[in-house]
Amino acid sequence: MVSYHRGVQEMINPRSDGVRLFLRRWYGPGGGRGNLLAPPARGVPHELAEWHKEASSVGSPVTFQDYPVPLSELTRSEDGMMVFWIENQGAYYWAVDPDEDDSVVVVREYGSDPWLTTGETLGRFLLHCTVREAIVGAESKLAAVVPESVLHGQVLTRLIPLGFPAMATESSSTRLFCRHDALVMVMPPPVGYSLPGESSWMAVVAVAHGQDVRKVDLGLADFVLSGEARVEPVDAFEEPPF
């Protein structure tokens, strides 16, 4: 019997070195360039400094849609918060209070005043984003729109749910799953993709560098959409407007 839990404990039960373990498993050992990073500015939470170190050591991009604020650009805004992650269109910003231990990440939309809690600590949020970006930027992935009955009766029985909540940019019902050979994002289908006459969901399946998503058996063959392309990394950084 296949063990779907094998080698994915850093996502199922997140721990302090979860980002490092995930990056090594998904992208390989990398080139060790993380040691060349300049020391972080004073007041930068150690989780952020470690994330940048581990991400740079991969030797290739690890973000493809939303993006981190460069380590050298991390500063406090007037309200004392430190914005560290930005949505690709500049519509959402995520921040922490560097003075708080185990600070919970907060988010706000451009043009909106209040910060809203994500419910995730900084370390957990960074792992969440790293996993999500791995799906977005995977070289081998597929998307399928499946009936709800197939999703619950067949697909999800072969997957392990991850405890990450939906991002502020996603539908509240978006969820991430994993198994030993794949990552899966399940969400409502985009407009025009729903199956006629029945409830349906979109599942995006991604595999690690060098693997073939067609070898992942989730029973999706009859529902796969064509033309799922890899998203290229975003390399522009814009200062938050506050």
Q: Indicate if the pLDDT at residue 195 is higher than 60.
A: yes
Q: What is the pLDDT of residues 108-133, one digit of tens each?
A: 999 888 999 999 999 999 999 999 99
Q: What is the pLDDT of residues 159-179, one digit of tens each?
A: 999 999 999 999 999 999 999
Q: What is the pLDDT of residues 6-16, one digit of tens each?
A: 557 777 777 77
Q: What is the pLDDT of residues 139-163, one digit of tens each?
A: 999 999 999 999 999 999 999 999 9
Predicted pLDDT of residue 2? 46
Q: Which tops the pLDDT comparison, 42 or 34? A: 42
Q: How far is CA 209 from CA 79, 141, 155, 156, 230, in A?
A: 41, 10, 23, 23, 12
Query: Are the C-beta atoms of residues 181 and 8 closer than 8 Å to each other?
Result: no
Average pLDDT over residues 179-192: 95
Confidence of residue 100 (pLDDT cuts 50, 70, 90): confident
Q: Indicate if the pLDDT at residue 196 is higher than 70.
A: yes
| Averaged pLDDT of the chain | 87
Predicted pLDDT of residue 1? 38
Nearest to 59 by CA among 32, 23, 90: 32
Q: Which tops the pLDDT comparison, 238 or 54? A: 54
Give me the percent of the chain exceeding a pLDDT of 70.
86
Average pLDDT over residues 196-209: 94
DSSP state of 76: B
Encoded tokens for 89: 């269109």
